[in-house]
């Protein structure tokens, strides 16, 4: 009697079958979610639905579309920061420097060099990316800095940039008032309340580009090395990979996406403001990422959009007659959006330690 070894159709194949089916179902579900979100965002400008508690007017009104555009921009900015914090494990306090660089650099190129929007943005992206290579190497190279050392170096660069903007050397930055958008150098389709829908499409395009790049890179072998560096950098070195080069690549990619986000932010807000240069601005991005779920596919997008929407609605609530008529112990905290946001963030951290994106994953399990 003869025996045969197990083949691909034997027990091993039956064991791997359910896992393969789960993987295919997960991939199909991911594509369905992505398609559903894209369809919803594409149809927003065509919807006249009025949601009084959530928006100040109909969905396709200029004010609502402006808010949606700002939410989309910050969703993309949070996703760019997640490349550092969530994917590679690098805590940076200087990410705002690149957002401000994109806004101020583009505006100055249009104003001082008589450029139009596209050449000014291209010059800013090229110069900013080169600067990111240099500053990233300086931040990471000495003693293979990581953790708190990297955070402190990036904070120092961010503070230097913030001080430079506030001092307004030669009248370049506008000081505390910032720089208004040079409307003459910008295509007319992005200027004026009547063209708010075009600004919305621009913000949506930015988010789509950032999501496509980040998701593609994190799914590649480079992204797997980033994850390994986040989990155990020493083991990555032992396996023959260079953590420094991979961390520098993550830093440059995140900075380039933030530079592009600064350009879009300039158009959405019609100006460059000094608030975008502060370390507090970077901390806001960190809160967005943690709120949504660091290192997850949808977490930074959810956290960024939700944070901006809550900030806008809580600001409107704080100056409303409903809050003004409350007793002082209640009216005082409700009139400060950051107080309410902080309380909501604490509740969210306790309710969903892995971020809001982890809630659905937990229910599926």
End-to-end CA distance of the chain: 46
- The predicted structure's pLDDT at residue 360: 61
Query: Domain locations in the chain?
Result: 62-278
- Residue 269 to residue 65: CA distance in whole angstroms: 12
Please report, for residues 32, 48, 49, 196, 249, the alpha-carbon distance to residue 132 in angstroms, rounded to integers and kept in the order given. 36, 43, 43, 32, 10
DSSP string, 227-276: HHHHH-HHHHHHTT--HHHHHHHHHHHHHHHHHHHHHHHHHHHTEE-GGG
- The predicted structure's pLDDT at residue 339: 81
- Residue 289 to residue 281: CA distance in whole angstroms: 13
Contact 212, 46 (CB under 8 A): no
Please report, for residues 103, 120, 121, the alpha-carbon distance to residue 117 in angstroms, rounded to integers and kept in the order given. 11, 5, 6
Contact 112, 182 (CB under 8 A): no
Residues of the chain with pLDDT under 50: 1-16, 22, 143, 365
- The predicted structure's pLDDT at residue 10: 44
pTM of the predicted model as reported, rounded to 2 decimal places:
0.88
- Residue 104 to residue 179: CA distance in whole angstroms: 8
Contact 251, 84 (CB under 8 A): yes
Q: Which residues contact 202 (CB under 8 A, 6 or more apart)?
A: 69, 190, 264, 267, 268
- The predicted structure's pLDDT at residue 52: 80
- The predicted structure's pLDDT at residue 8: 44
Nearest to 249 by CA among 275, 218, 206, 279: 218
User: pLDDT of 97-124, one tens digit each?
Assistant: 999 999 999 999 999 999 999 999 999 9
Burial of 10 (0-12, 13-18, 19+ CB in 10 A): exposed
- The predicted structure's pLDDT at residue 146: 55
Cβ neighbour number for residue 49 with a 10 Å cutoff = 10
Query: Each residue of 119-147: b (16+ CB within 10 Å) or e?
Result: ebbebbbeebbebbbebbeebbeeeebbe
- Residue 93 to residue 74: CA distance in whole angstroms: 17
Phi, psi of 40 (to 5 degrees): -65, -45
- The predicted structure's pLDDT at residue 314: 84
- The predicted structure's pLDDT at residue 328: 75
Burial of 24 (0-12, 13-18, 19+ CB in 10 A): exposed
Contact 291, 348 (CB under 8 A): yes
């Amino acid at each position: 009697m003869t025996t045969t070894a197990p083949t691909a159709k034997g027990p091993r194949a039956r064991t791997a079958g359910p896992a393969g089916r789960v993987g295919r179902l997960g991939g199909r579900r991911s594509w369905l979610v992505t398609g559903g979100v894209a369809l919803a965002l594409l149809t927003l400008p065509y919807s006249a639905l009025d949601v009084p508690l959530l928006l100040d007017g109909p969905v396709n009104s200029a004010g609502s579309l402006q808010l949606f555009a700002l939410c989309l921009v910050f969703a993309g900015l949070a996703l760019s920061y997640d490349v550092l914090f969530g994917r590679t494990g690098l805590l940076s306090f200087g990410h705002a420097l690149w957002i401000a660089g994109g806004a101020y650099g583009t505006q100055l190129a249009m104003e001082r060099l008589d450029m139009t929007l596209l050449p000014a943005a291209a010059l800013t992206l090229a110069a900013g990316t080169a600067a990111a290579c240099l500053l990233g190497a300086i931040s990471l190279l000495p003693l293979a800095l990581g953790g708190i050392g990297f955070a402190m170096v990036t904070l120092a660069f961010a503070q230097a940039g913030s001080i430079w903007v506030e001092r307004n050397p030669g009248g370049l930055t506008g000081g505390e008032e910032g720089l208004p958008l040079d409307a003459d150098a910008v295509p007319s389709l992005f200027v004026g309340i009547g063209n708010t829908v075009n600004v919305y499409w621009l913000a949506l395009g930015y988010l789509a580009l950032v999501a496509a790049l980040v998701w593609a890179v994190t799914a590649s072998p480079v992204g797997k090395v980033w994850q390994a560096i986040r989990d155990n950098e020493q083991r990555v070195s032992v396996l023959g990979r260079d953590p420094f080069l991979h961390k520098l690549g993550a830093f440059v990619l995140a900075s380039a996406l933030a530079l592009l986000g600064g350009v879009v932010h300039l158009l959405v807000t019609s100006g460059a403001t000094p608030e975008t240069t502060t370390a507090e601005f970077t901390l806001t991005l960190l809160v967005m990422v943690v709120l949504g779920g660091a290192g997850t596919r949808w977490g930074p997008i959810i956290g960024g959009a939700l944070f901006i929407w809550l900030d806008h609605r809580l600001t409107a609530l704080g100056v409303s007659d409903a809050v003004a008529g409350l007793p002082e112990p209640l009216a005082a905290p409700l009139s400060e959006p950051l107080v309410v946001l902080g309380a909501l963030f604490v509740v969210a951290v306790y309710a969903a330690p892995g971020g809001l994106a982890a809630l659905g994953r937990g229910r599926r399990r």
